[in-house]
Amino acid sequence: IRFPMYNDNFAALATFTLLVAGERFGRKDVFAAGMDKLRQLRDVLTRRGAIMEYGSPTYTPITTHILAEIANYVQDAEAKKLAGQCETRMWAEIAAHYHPPTGQFAGPYSRAYLVDSVGHPHNIHGLLHLAFGDLAVNPAEDLFPPRPEQVLHVGLESLMLPNLAWLYSGNVHCPDDVARLLLEKRFPFDAILTT
């Protein structure tokens, strides 16, 4: 599992696991494998400007959250710094896609589902609500209980609620200048990247 493949969220989870386990159990080889993956991500973001799962209301928040957790829990200074830089870049991507008047993602995206395509509450709303409180859509208002005919991703209890609970369990770090772009964007707005 590496970053230049399609499932960036899996590569991010593998990176977190390798870095934390490597430190916890004193396994320099395991930690080094995690650093290799983190550098792969840096290289992808430097070369392309976005991950393969770019602008995904489902997966972009997962990868962003994992990078924040690396910065929060890994002790190594280089790993913390690099994870923080990658998290900042992910927040820039979120800011580029976020449409404040509707509280939804806009523009092209990769790897989304019906719940995202129709703009119903999902992972991105949980991450944004964690970071910005009531300035963002509160997914709990629409999920406890779901409204009639609301689109849910693979069922409420099996995926959506566990994902949102996990997203709310951490601390994220959106820089002030990126937060201003995200919340106070002027239109028209253009973002250019390659994938």
| Average pLDDT in the chain | 91
Give me the DSSP letters along the chain. Answer: --TTSS-HHHHHHHHHHHHHHHHHTT-HHHHHHHHHHHHHHHHHHHHHSS-TTTT-TTHHHHHHHHHHHHHHH---HHHHHHHHHHHHHHHHHHHHHEETTTTEE-S--SS--HHHHTT-S-HHHHHHHHHHGGGS--THHHHTTBPTT---SS-IIIIIHHHHHHHHTS-----HHHHHHHHH--SS-------
Question: Could you report the per-residue pLDDT of 55-83, keeping only the tens digit for each?
Answer: 899 999 999 999 999 999 999 999 999 99
8-21 mean pLDDT = 96
Q: Sign of torsion, CA 23 24 29 31?
A: negative
Q: Structure pTM?
A: 0.94
**Is 90 exceeded by the pLDDT of residue 184?**
yes
**Is 90 exceeded by the pLDDT of residue 143?**
no
How does residue 156 score in pLDDT terms, banded at 50, 70 and 90? low
181-192 mean pLDDT = 92
Who has greater pLDDT, 156 or 84? 84
Q: Per mean pLDDT, which of 132-141, 162-171, 174-183 is the most reliable?
A: 174-183
154-174 mean pLDDT = 85
Question: Could you report the per-residue pLDDT of 102-136, keeping only the tens digit for each?
Answer: 999 888 888 888 888 888 888 999 999 999 999 99
1-7 mean pLDDT = 80
Who has greater pLDDT, 4 or 89? 89
How does residue 192 score in pLDDT terms, banded at 50, 70 and 90? confident
